[in-house]
Chain A
Amino acid sequence: MIEFKQVSFAYEGSGEGKLRDLNFTVKKGECILLTGRSGCGKTTVTRLINGLIPAFFPGKLSGEVWIDGREVSEEPIYRIAEKAGSVFQNPKTQFFNMDTDGEIAFGMENNGVPQTQMQQRVNQTAEELGIEKLLGRSIFSLSGGEKQKIAFASVYAMNPDIYLLDEPSSNLDEDAIDDLRKHIALLKQQGKTVIIAEHRIYYLRGLADRIFYLEKGELKHTWTGEEFFKIAMEDRKHMGLRSMEHKKDKGLLRIDGKSSGKKEEMLEFQDLAIGYGKKVVLSKLDFKAFTGDIIAVTGHNGVGKSTFSRTLCGLLKPLAGKILWNNTALKEKARLSHSYMVMQDVNYQLFADSVEHECSFGIQNPDYELAAKTMQELGLSEYRSRHPNTLSGGQKQRVAVAVSMICKKEILIFDEPTSGLDYESMLSVAGLMKRLAKMGKIIFVVTHDAELMAEACTRILQLEA
């Protein structure tokens, strides 16, 4: 049993994710969905349960969190870790070993499980989760979805009573989300307590027993699963929640369909094969894109979406075929100067110490007038002297977009721009893309987000191996 008694918390030096006077009890075997807008404090709740707060993240804590009659802040983290296992959002940074077997065994090794028992448990885990084919692999050869499965397996192998999942679906494609759903169902069957902090909620229909809705750090509503999934669409949107139903991308034109835009400028792929080195990842890509298009690029984890985007913007050479811009073939260098990618982790492409400097950093002969105008257009003027790193995720994205406009790029690629975003933030990304399309850009957006596709995209490019 988990009990929160008048818990308040504020991180040191940050207003984000704080909590105010939380009171609730979670019974053994319950499945709880924590949801709410970005920054509402749902991740903070999971950190209070696994003991990362207060031991790892400093801040001001009052009130008490109890697990099975023990107060969390009084116990060392490794004691709590035996009871509550945590799976985090970013699959890249939760690995400690370079091979999958070692990773699954890692927690057991730390807790001193005897060797003979351990090997058996690793195999049992793989079998129960259906991931036998991932055993004996190098971590670096796995796709994001596979990594997430291994992270889950390594917690499962420790067999805790409580599972804490922090946005486990944010890097997963549809099939992987299906598997995640099955795994959570398996935990419920075993009588485990499961607590999931999520934006994407549709896949938890029929699994979540109760739903906690947080707003600005306060527990605003609790529903049973049945009540919650009956909430009207308008109310749901009003609360900033993502879709409760799984939308298929029906209604979107396939890439070979006609474009809605004017037929002036266009990009054409002719019998393109892409890949790394000699390894062909995808071949026979043949299509045209016109200004004003917003094209969703989808496909399974590991199908080659990032190879596709890197080839498109000139970071990779195609293995065969041509990419044409207004009927002339473009080499890598020319593509680089025509296109820009807004990366999934925007932090990698922000270099300067203020938004204003960012808009001219490293650019040959920067046009300051254009920079000022662009900042104005994207609503960044008031942040011009702020350090990009102090901005929110959505604002950082807009800074990156501003850079692309100042560099006069015509083709824009967004890589998973809405992963982990709430409804309103997703809408504003969609709005931004639509505005860019209206200015006559060609937009590609790599995404699994069906809601975003329905909101913004005009066509879809489904990549299949």
Chain B
Amino acid sequence: MKEKESVIKVLDPRTCLMLLIFANLITFFQSSIWIEVGWICFLGCIMLFMGQYRMAVKWIFTYGFILLLQYFLLPAAPKAITTAFTLLVNYSRRMFPCLMAGAFMIKVISLRQFILAMRKMRIPQNLIIPISVTIRYFPAIKEEVHYIRDAIKLRNIRSADKLEAIIVPLMISATATAEELSAAAVTRGIENPIRKTSVTEIKFRLPDYLYGFIGLLFTAGAFVIK
């Protein structure tokens, strides 16, 4: 969230969306582990180029650890443990390409850029408004849950009642929050049908073409290399 505009600007949000789609295809169609390993390294490199060092390290290490588990630790472990965990480990590893691309997208695209990208892709305005209000609502929920958890601790509520204790105030405040957010957006002309402009521009630049092309190669590889 603290990144400077110039860093965020480097990648077009549509490229991120494309990478996410590629990641999905690769997850469901690849049968060679090398494609997957390559893809993870590729995403890791993009993160590094975008200045997301901590994120890159975190994801690559976790992936490496799961690989280690599946191919070296579990085969050597007692049979009971192996049968219990192989499935879990295998599936969590296979979800990695998608999770990593998704996490990356959430981190580097701001809501504003996402709206812009949707407009550029000619998604109708009356779909964009509810989608953006919904996305904007998530950080608000996070803030609210934080307050509610404080309130729960202050009253030392039994664990049995905890779920109810989070849901009820959240629901009640949700109505007010959604109403206030929408009122603020509406009085600043979000419904204006005029062609909207933007302070920041998004367009495909060299890195976008490059990453897009490499991503496409990986996807093709996932289908071809068996």
* Chain A residues within CB distance 8 Å of chain B: 50-52, 55-56, 76-78, 81-82, 85-86, 88, 90, 92-99, 101-102, 105-115, 118-119, 122, 136, 138, 140-141, 151, 154-155, 158, 310, 313-315, 336-337, 339-341, 343, 345, 347-352, 361-364, 389, 403, 407
Contact = CB atoms under 8 A, between A and B. Distances in A.
Given A81-B188, A118-B197, 4 more contacts: A50-B187, A345-B173, A347-B173, A348-B147
Contact of A362 (B150, B157, B173, B190): B157
Contacts of B80: none
Interface in B93-119: 110-112
B88 interface: no
B205 interface: no
Contacts, number: 182
B168 A351 contact: yes
Interface string B19-61: 0000000000000000000000000000000000000000000
Contacts of A140: 1, 139
Interface string B142-170: 01100110111111111001001100110
Interface string B174-217: 00110011111111111111111111110000000000000000
Nearest to A389: B172
Contact of B154 (A113, A155, A313): A313
Contact of A337 (B147, B156, B173): B156
A454 B173 CA distance: 33
B79 interface: no
A109 B164 contact: no
A93 B184 contact: yes
A81 B187 contact: yes
Contacts of B77: none
A78 B190 CA distance: 7
B122 interface: no
A109 B151 contact: no
A94 B5 CA distance: 22
Nearest to B148: A348
Nearest to B137: A93
Contacts of B189: 77-78, 81-82, 107, 110-111, 158
B192 A111 contact: yes
Interface of B: 1-2, 4-5, 110-112, 132, 136, 139-140, 143-144, 147-148, 150-158, 161, 164-165, 168-169, 172-173, 176-177, 180-201
Contact of B188 (A119, A154, A310, A403): A154
Contacts of B154: 313, 315, 336, 339-341, 349
Contact of B199 (A56, A115, A343, A363): A115
B147 A345 contact: yes
B118 to A, nearest CB: 14
B156 A364 contact: yes
Contact of A351 (B169, B176, B185): B169
Given A99-B110, A105-B199, A363 B155 contact: yes
A93 B111 contact: no
A94 B184 contact: yes
A32 B165 CA distance: 43
A408 to B, nearest CB: 12
B30 to A, nearest CB: 35
Contacts of B187: 50-52, 77, 81, 85-86
A77 B191 contact: yes
Contacts of B158: 362, 364
A176 B165 CA distance: 35
Given A351-B165, A363-B155, A96 B184 contact: yes
25 contacts: A52-B187, A55-B186, A56-B182, A56-B183, A78-B193, A81-B186, A92-B140, A94-B181, A94-B184, A96-B132, A96-B188, A96-B190, A112-B192, A113-B197, A115-B198, A115-B201, A138-B2, A140-B139, A155-B188, A314-B153, A315-B150, A348-B148, A349-B148, A361-B161, A362-B155
Nearest to A138: B1
A110 B169 contact: no
B165 A96 contact: no
